């Protein structure tokens, strides 16, 4: 899968959306994007094994039914099987969407959740003075989004309150309009914060960068 590239104009739109939200709310919003939450290297080994088994089975059946136009030596069978296995190994390497078809949805979700938590800690979203940090984590390959709010927000906001925000970003990913989805999700976060009383006070200051974080 080709790496998704945000244009400078899109990055600026996202930064301005964060700034606009933080002008009226005390929340600190951190948008974070990755092309994939994991390398999923096991997909290559799995597909390689499957291809090798299919190759041996095909040769065995063809030989048994006398369908082969010529006789294969053990060396030729081995070389053919190894070649097929190498092809199976390389397919997920060069075509990342194949990984999504091979790796279970449960495993993908676990990897995305883990990567999101790492980002939450790495970006120190938990260190705001009033514990009002929000991480909007987007993982493109898996078409999954994780929104993590710090304790100050989660004490008031219910988990289901994030569903509309998640749906907005996922829709943007599927339509290949990720920047639009991120901007709209930030606007929805602002609305949700204001509805729950997280209004900016005169003593509030910008504690975290407003820029979109992009990690390959």
Residue 212 DSSP class: P
* Residue 187: partners with Cβ closer than 8 Å, 6 or more residues away: 17, 20, 21
Could you please state the CATH topology (level 3) that the domain comprising 8-38+104-215 is classified under. Diaminopimelate Epimerase; Chain A, domain 1 (3.10.310)
Neighbours of 186 (CB within 10 A): 27
Select, from the ranges 53-67, 131-145, 201-215, the one with the highest average predicted confidence (pLDDT).
131-145
Between residues 75 and 72, the one the model is more confident about:
75
User: Per-domain residue ranges for the chain?
Assistant: 8-38+104-215, 42-102
Mean residue pLDDT of the chain comes to 90
Q: What is the pLDDT of residue 138?
A: 93
For 174-205, what is each residue's pLDDT tens digit? 888 999 999 999 999 999 999 989 998 878 78
Confidence of residue 1 (pLDDT cuts 50, 70, 90): low
Confidence of residue 173 (pLDDT cuts 50, 70, 90): confident
User: From the centroid of its chain, how far is CA 143?
Assistant: 6
Q: What is the pLDDT of residue 157?
A: 84
Residue with tokens 């999101």: 116
| Mean pLDDT computed over 59-77 | 83
Confidence of residue 63 (pLDDT cuts 50, 70, 90): confident
Percentage of the chain modeled with pLDDT above 70: 98
Instruction: Using the predicted structure, report yes or no on whether residue 168 has a pLDDT greater than 70.
Output: yes
Residue 6 β-bridge partners: none
Q: Where are the alpha helices (DSSP H) in the chain?
A: 8-24, 42-64, 74-94, 97-102, 105-122, 151-154, 163-174, 178-195
Instruction: Using the predicted structure, report yes or no on whether residue 39 has a pLDDT greater than 80.
Output: yes
Instruction: Using the predicted structure, report yes or no on whether residue 28 has a pLDDT greater than 90.
Output: yes
Between residues 160 and 166, the one the model is more confident about:
166
Q: What is the pLDDT of residue 3?
A: 65
Q: Token digits for 7? A: 């244009």
Q: What is the pLDDT of residue 44?
A: 96
Confidence of residue 25 (pLDDT cuts 50, 70, 90): very high
Q: Where are the alpha helices (DSSP H) in 103-209?
A: 105-122, 151-154, 163-174, 178-195
Q: What is the pLDDT of residue 202?
A: 77
| Mean pLDDT computed over 11-28 | 94
């Amino acid at each position: 899968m080709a790496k998704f590239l945000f244009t400078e104009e899109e990055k600026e739109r996202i930064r301005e959306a964060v700034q606009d939200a933080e002008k009226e709310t005390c929340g600190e919003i951190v948008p974070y994007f990755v092309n994939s939450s994991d390398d999923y290297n096991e997909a290559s080994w799995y597909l390689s094994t499957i291809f090798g088994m299919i190759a041996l089975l095909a040769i065995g059946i063809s030989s048994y039914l006398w369908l082969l136009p010529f006789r294969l030596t053990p060396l030729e069978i081995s070389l053919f099987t190894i070649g097929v296995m190498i092809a199976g190994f390389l397919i997920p390497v060069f075509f990342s969407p194949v990984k999504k078809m091979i790796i279970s949805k449960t495993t993908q979700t676990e990897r995305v959740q883990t990567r999101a938590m790492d980002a939450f800690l790495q970006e120190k979203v938990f260190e705001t003075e009033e514990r009002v940090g929000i991480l909007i984590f987007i993982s493109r390959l898996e078409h999954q989004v994780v929104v993590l709010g710090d304790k100050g927000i989660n004490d008031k906001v219910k988990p289901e309150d994030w569903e509309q925000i998640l749906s907005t970003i996922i829709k943007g990913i599927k339509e290949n309009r990720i920047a639009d989805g991120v901007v709209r999700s930030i606007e929805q976060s602002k609305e949700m914060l204001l509805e729950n009383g997280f209004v900016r006070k005169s003593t509030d200051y910008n504690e975290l960068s407003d820029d979109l974080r992009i990690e390959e």
